[in-house]
Amino acid sequence: MGRFTAFLIGGAVGAIAGLALSPASGSENIDRVSGVLTEAYPEQTKVVKEAAGQAVAAAATNSTKIINTVVDNAGDFTSNLGARAQQVVGGAPQAVSAQSEELREKIDSARDRIAAQVKKNAEETAGK
């Protein structure tokens, strides 16, 4: 390893240690580094922000698909469970059906909350 490479690695390690040990909060350090990089490399910063926004949007889309798949599978499961309960016990399906409806409402509510949080996180990340 050449002296110049060792110098660059030492500088990087020193910068990281300086940020890690600084009295400023993490968000202040992030803002400071972001400001310096934006001033020094405006075009590259723009490209990185756009790529990050696309990655966040893709993650939000994929997580929404996964959530919907889980909810649909849970609905199928509860339907099958209700049918099996009806086979086993004559009067129990009404109780299972009511519980299934309640469970579906809770799942739908959780799906909405998760989707809202993913959207909020995507907007916050895209705004940085």
Residue spans per domain, the chain:
1-40, 42-128
For residue 118, pLDDT beyond 80: yes
Tell the residue number behind the tokens 């390893």, with chain if given.
1
Confidence of residue 97 (pLDDT cuts 50, 70, 90): confident
Show Cβ contacts of residue 100 under 8 Å, excluding neighbours closer than 6 positions: 78, 79, 81, 82
- Cα separation, 78 vs 85, whole angstroms: 10
- Nearest Cα residue to 74 out of 33, 38, 114, 102: 102
What is the predicted pLDDT for the residue at 128? 60
Are 115 and 104 in contact by the 8 Å Cβ rule? The answer is: no
What mean pLDDT do residues 21-43 have? 83
pLDDT in tens, 78-96: 777 777 776 766 655 566 6
What is the predicted pLDDT for the residue at 120? 85
What mean pLDDT do residues 64-91 have? 77
What is the predicted pLDDT for the residue at 92? 54
